[in-house]
C-alpha cells in the first residue's frame, strides 16, 4: 500500500509510502483518502497527521503518470486536498526532507503544518514546463505573501523549511523526533475550532498591477521559448484578483494547457534522461564503488586546469602534473584567475576560493601521483603521447587506481592496452571549459571493469556533471554526431549559403551558436587536423573543401581574429567577412556548381537530421545505451535547445516517417553518400515507433 493508516491513541496517522520520493501517484492518493475516511469514521480519533516514510514528505505528483489517464484518475490531487480541507477533524502535515510540488500543495490543504529543519520546500513545476496544478499558486501566496510566493513559483527554487519558520506556512518547527512532535502538536490543537484553512486567508495586495507588470517584464526577459513562467505570473495574479475557487479553476486550466506542450514534454524528457543516463543495464546499481579520496591530472593546460577545478570544487584534493615548471605555474595561475572571476561575480566567497585553491597542488614527478585514487590524463590528442603517459602511469600508480583519459576521439581500448591493467582504464571526456560544461562522456572500454564504470558514474554526480556512457568509436557520441552536422554545414556553403545564413537559421531553431560561430570559437584548426587524418583513414567520407581553404589562409577563428568571420580586438562579435564569402563563391564556381537559394527549413533539416541519422546509427551499434542518452549529450554538451528536448526527442516530435522522407529527399541532392538512412530509423518509421519509447 503506498499510503498506510495507523492509530496512535486518539490520533490517526497516514504515512505516504511510495518510494523513492512518495510521488503522489493514484494509489497513494487513494490511500490518503482511505486513511482520512477511516479517521473521520472513528469517533475515538480526534486529529489526523499525514507524514512521509523514507527521506522526505513527498516529491510531488508522479511525473511518470502525466499525459496518461492515471494522472487525472479520481481521486485526483484536487479531490484529496478537498477531502482534507473539508474534514471536520484537524489534519496536520508533518514535513521532513522534501515537500515539493504536489507534496507541498497537499500540505497547504492541511489545517496545520509542522516541520523539521532542513526540509526542501519548493514548487518546482515550472522546471518541468508546467505550473503548480493543485492549488499551489493560490495557497502559497496566502501563507508566504505574493512576492515570496511568486518568486518561488516562477523560479522553482527550493527554500529550506527553517527559513520559512516565521511564516504562516508552518505552525511549529519540530526540534526532536518529527512524529512525536507532530502527535504532541495534534493533541494540543485537537479541539481548536474553527479549523484554519489556507483558502480562507484573505490575500490583500494593493496596487498589484504595477508589481505584476514588473514581474511579467522580468520573467519575459528570461523565459525564452518556455511559456510556463509567464503563466505562473498569471496564476498568482488570479490569486490576487479572483475568488479562491475561481482562482483554482483558472490555475487548473493553465496547468492542463501547459502539460500538453512540447516544451513541457521536452523538459520532463530531460528530467528523466538525466537520471536514466547513470543506469547501466549490466552493472547492478549496488555495485561496490572504489573510494575516491584524491585525484591526479596529467597536463595543466586549459583542459587539465579545468578538470582539476572539478575535483577541488567537490572537495577532492588534486595534484596536477606538468613536465615544465613554467607550464605548471601557468596552469595554477589560470585556475586562480578562474576562481577570482567567479568570486567577482559573487558566486564564490574568499574562504571558498582559498579552500579550493588549497586543494590543488602541482608536481613534475609522476611518483607524486602514485597514491591518487584516480588520475585523468589531459595531454595532447596524439596516440604516441598517450602511450608515453599511460606507460608511466601503469608503472607508478597504486593498484586499484582508476586511469582515465580525457581523449575526445582516440580509441580507449588502444590506450588501455598500453597498461597491464586495462580493467582500470576508462575514458572521461570533459568538454571545454571543463570546469563549466555539464557534460562528461564516460567511455567504457572493452575491458573496463564494472566497478570502475560505476565509480566513474558516481564521481560524475559528485563533481556535478551529467555522466553519459559511450562505447568506443571515433568521436564517441557527441563528436561523432557533430561531424555529420559540420559536413552538412560545409556542403550548404558550396551549394549556395554563406556562413551567416546557416548560423542564423541554426540559432533561430534554438542552437546556442550556429556551426560556423561555434567552429570559430573552438578553433577551425581542430577540425582541420581531424579531417586530414580522416582523408587518409576514411577516404570514402566526403567533406566540402571550403573549410580547408579557410585554414590554409590561417583563419583559425577567434584565436587568430579571423575565421569564418572577422573579429576585432576586444570584441567577441562575429563580423561577416567579404574575403571568406568571396572565397566560398569562388569555390562553388571551381566545382562547377550553380549556387542556389536555400531555405531556412532545408538548412535546419539538414543540420538536425544529420545528427538524428548518426544518432540512430550510434544507437544501433550500441555505442549509446538509449536515445535519451544521446539527447543528454546534445543538450548538455552541444547547445541543443532544451525546449526541443534533444535531437532524438525532436525527431520523435516531428515524426520519424517525416524525418525519413526528408532524408530521402536530401539523398537526391549533391551528396547522396552523406544521406544513407540508418536502418533503425527506417524500421522505427515503418513501425510508427519513436526513438524514445
Residues with Cβ within 8 Å of residue 76, at least 6 apart in sequence: 29
Cell numbers placing 668: 537526391
Minimum CB–partner distance for residue 255 and ligand T1G (Å): 7
> Least Å distance between CB 285 and ligand T1G?
8
Closest CA to 141 of 152, 133, 130, 131: 152
* Contact in structure between 289 and 336 (CB atoms under 8 Å): no
Cell output for 199: 483558502
Q: Which is nearer to ligand T1G, 102 or 445 (CB)?
A: 102
Smallest gap, in angstroms, from Cβ of residue 152 to ligand T1G?
A: 13
State the residue for C-alpha cell 546509427: 617
Applying CB under 6 A, which residues contact ligand T1G?
20-21, 23, 59-64, 77, 98, 100-102, 105, 124-125, 128, 130, 132-134, 136, 272, 275
> For cell 596536477, what's the residue?
320
**Within 13 A of 279's CA, how many CA atoms are on the CB side?**
8
Buried b (16+ CB within 10 A) or exposed e, 163-181: ebeeeebbbbbbeeebbeb
DSSP lists the bridge partners of residue 441 as: 429, 468
CA 330 to chain centre: 32
The residue (of 204 and 285) whose beta carbon lies closer to ligand T1G is: 285
CB of 367 to ligand T1G, least distance (A): 39
Q: Which set of grid coordinates corresponds to residue 21?
A: 520520493
If the CB atoms of residues 133 and 557 are measured against ligand T1G, the closer one turns out to be 133
Tell which residue, 114, 102, 97, 94, has the closest CA to residue 50: 94
Distance (Å, whole) CA 305 – CA 301: 6
Residues belonging to the chain: 693
Contact of 40 with 89, CB cutoff 8 Å: yes
User: Cell 571568406 belongs to which residue?
Assistant: 580
The DSSP letter of residue 159 is E
Q: Cβ of residue 50: shortest distance to ligand T1G, in angstroms?
A: 16
Q: Could you list the active site residues?
A: 105, 125
d(CA 497, CA 490) in angstroms, rounded, equals: 9
Which residue in the block uniquely carries the three cell numbers 495557497?
139
CA distances from 425 to 2, 377, 402, 625 (A): 43, 11, 6, 20
User: CB-wise, 254 or 410, nearer to ligand T1G?
Assistant: 254
Q: Quick one: 97 or 299, whose CB is closer to ligand T1G?
A: 97
CB of 78 to ligand T1G, least distance (A): 9
Taking each helix axis from N to C end, the angle separating 515-522 and 499-509, rounded to the nearest 10 degrees, works out to 100
Contact (CB, 8 A) for 500 and 513: no
Residues 82 and 101: their CA atoms lie apart, in Å, by: 17
Please report how close the Cβ of residue 645 comes to ligand T1G at its closest, in angstroms: 16
Q: How far is the CB of 58 from ligand T1G (least distance, A)?
A: 8
Q: Which helix (H) or strand (E) holds 225?
A: none
Contact criterion met (CB below 8 Å) for 485 and 610: yes
Q: Smallest gap, in angstroms, from Cβ of residue 169 to ligand T1G?
A: 16
Nearer to ligand T1G by Cβ, of 280 and 549: the residue is 280
* CA dist., res. 279 & res. 334, Å (int): 35
Q: What's the rounded Cα separation, in Å, for the pair 627 and 656? A: 13
Query: Which residue number, 57 or 491, has a Cβ lying nearer to ligand T1G?
Result: 57
Q: CA–CA separation, 604 vs 502, rounded Å?
A: 8
Q: Which cell is 626 given?
A: 538509449
Give the Cα separation of 238 and 255 in Å (integer). Answer: 14
Rg over alpha carbons for the chain, rounded to the nearest Å, is 29
Q: Which is nearer to ligand T1G, 129 or 445 (CB)?
A: 129
Q: Give 120 or 613: the residue with its C-beta nearer to ligand T1G.
A: 120
Residue 133 vs 475, nearer CB to ligand T1G:
133
Q: Smallest distance from the beta carbon of 70 to ligand T1G, in angstroms?
A: 12
Amino acid at each position: 500500500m503506498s499510503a498506510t493508516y495507523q492509530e496512535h491513541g486518539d490520533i490517526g496517522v497516514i504515512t505516504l509510502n511510495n518510494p523513492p520520493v512518495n510521488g503522489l501517484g493514484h494509489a497513494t492518493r487513494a490511500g490518503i483518502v482511505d486513511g482520512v475516511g477511516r479517521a473521520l469514521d472513528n469517533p475515538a480519533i480526534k486529529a489526523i497527521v499525514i507524514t512521509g516514510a523514507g527521506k522526505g514528505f513527498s516529491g510531488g505528483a508522479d511525473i511518470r503518470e502525466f499525459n496518461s489517464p492515471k494522472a487525472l484518475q479520481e481521486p485526483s490531487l484536487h479531490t484529496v486536498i478537498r477531502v482534507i480541507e473539508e474534514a471536520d477533524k484537524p489534519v496536520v502535515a508533518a514535513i521532513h526532507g522534501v515537500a515539493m510540488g504536489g507534496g507541498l500543495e497537499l500540505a497547504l490543504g492541511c489545517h496545520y503544518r509542522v516541520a523539521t529543519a532542513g526540509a526542501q520546500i519548493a514548487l518546482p513545476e515550472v522546471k518541468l514546463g508546467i505550473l503548480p496544478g493543485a492549488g499551489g499558486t493560490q495557497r502559497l501566496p496566502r501563507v508566504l505573501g505574493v512576492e515570496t510566493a511568486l518568486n518561488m513559483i516562477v523560479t522553482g527554487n527550493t527554500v529550506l523549511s527553517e527559513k520559512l519558520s516565521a511564516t504562516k506556512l508552518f505552525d511549529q518547527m519540530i526540534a526532536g523526533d518529527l512524529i512525536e512532535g507532530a502527535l504532541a502538536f495534534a493533541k494540543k490543537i485537537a479541539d481548536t475550532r474553527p479549523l484554519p484553512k489556507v483558502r480562507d486567508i484573505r490575500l490583500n495586495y494593493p496596487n498589484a498591477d504595477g508589481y505584476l507588470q514588473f514581474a511579467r517584464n522580468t520573467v519575459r526577459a528570461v523565459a525564452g521559448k518556455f511559456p510556463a513562467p509567464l503563466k505562473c505570473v498569471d496564476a498568482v495574479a488570479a490569486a490576487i484578483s479572483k475568488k479562491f475557487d475561481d482562482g483554482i479553476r483558472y490555475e487548473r486550466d493553465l496547468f492542463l494547457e501547459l502539460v500538453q506542450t512540447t516544451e513541457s514534454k521536452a523538459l520532463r524528457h530531460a528530467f528523466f534522461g538525466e537520471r536514466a543516463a547513470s543506469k547501466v543495464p549490466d552493472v547492478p546499481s549496488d555495485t561496490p564503488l572504489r573510494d575516491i579520496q584524491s585525484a591526479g591530472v596529467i597536463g595543466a593546460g586549459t583542459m587539465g586546469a579545468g578538470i582539476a577545478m572539478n575535483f577541488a570544487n567537490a572537495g577532492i584534493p588534486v595534484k596536477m602534473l606538468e613536465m615544465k615548471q613554467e607550464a605548471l605555474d601557468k596552469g595554477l595561475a589560470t585556475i586562480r584567475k578562474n576562481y577570482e572571476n567567479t568570486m567577482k561575480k559573487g558566486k564564490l566567497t574568499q574562504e571558498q576560493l582559498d579552500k579550493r585553491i588549497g586543494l590543488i597542488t602541482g608536481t613534475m614527478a609522476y611518483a607524486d601521483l602514485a597514491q591518487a585514487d584516480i588520475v585523468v590524463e589531459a595531454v595532447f590528442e596524439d596516440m604516441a603521447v598517450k602511450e608515453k603517459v599511460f606507460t608511466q602511469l601503469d608503472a607508478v600508480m597504486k593498484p586499484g587506481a582508476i586511469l582515465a583519459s580525457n581523449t575526445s576521439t582516440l580509441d580507449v581500448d588502444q590506450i588501455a592496452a598500453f597498461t597491464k591493467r586495462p580493467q582500470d582504464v576508462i575514458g572521461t571526456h570533459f568538454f571545454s571549459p571543463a570546469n563549466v560544461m555539464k557534460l562528461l562522456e564516460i567511455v567504457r572500454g572493452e575491458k573496463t571493469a564494472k566497478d570502475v564504470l560505476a565509480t566513474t558514474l558516481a564521481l560524475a554526480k559528485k563533481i556535478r556533471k551529467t555522466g553519459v556512457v559511450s562505447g568506443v568509436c571515433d568521436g564517441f557520441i557527441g563528436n561523432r554526431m557533430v561531424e555529420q552536422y559540420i559536413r552538412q554545414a560545409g556542403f550548404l556553403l558550396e551549394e549556395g549559403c554563406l556562413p551567416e545564413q546557416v548560423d542564423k537559421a541554426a540559432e533561430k531553431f534554438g542552437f546556442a551558436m550556429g556551426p560556423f560561430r561555434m567552429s570559430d570559437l573552438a578553433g577551425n584548426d581542430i577540425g582541420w587536423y581531424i579531417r586530414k587524418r580522416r582523408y587518409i583513414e576514411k577516404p570514402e567520407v566526403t567533406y566540402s573543401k571550403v573549410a580547408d581553404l579557410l585554414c590554409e589562409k590561417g583563419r583559425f577563428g577567434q584565436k587568430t581574429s579571423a575565421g569564418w568571420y572577422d573579429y576585432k580586438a576586444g570584441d567577441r562579435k562575429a563580423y561577416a567577412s567579404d574575403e571568406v564569402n568571396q572565397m566560398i563563391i569562388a569555390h562553388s564556381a571551381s566545382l562547377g556548381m550553380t549556387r542556389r537559394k536555400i531555405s531556412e527549413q532545408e538548412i535546419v533539416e539538414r543540420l538536425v537530421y544529420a545528427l538524428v541519422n548518426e544518432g540512430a546509427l550510434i544507437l544501433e551499434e550500441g555505442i549509446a545505451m538509449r536515445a535519451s542518452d544521446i539527447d543528454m549529450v546534445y543538450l548538455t554538451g552541444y547547445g541543443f535547445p532544451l525546449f526541443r528536448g534533444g535531437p532524438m526527442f525532436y525527431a520523435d516530435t516531428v515524426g520519424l516517417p517525416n524525418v525519413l522522407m526528408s532524408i530521402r529527399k536530401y539523398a537526391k541532392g549533391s551528396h547522396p553518400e552523406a544521406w544513407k538512412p540508418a536502418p533503425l530509423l527506417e524500421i522505427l518509421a515503418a513501425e510508427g515507433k519513436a526513438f524514445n519509447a
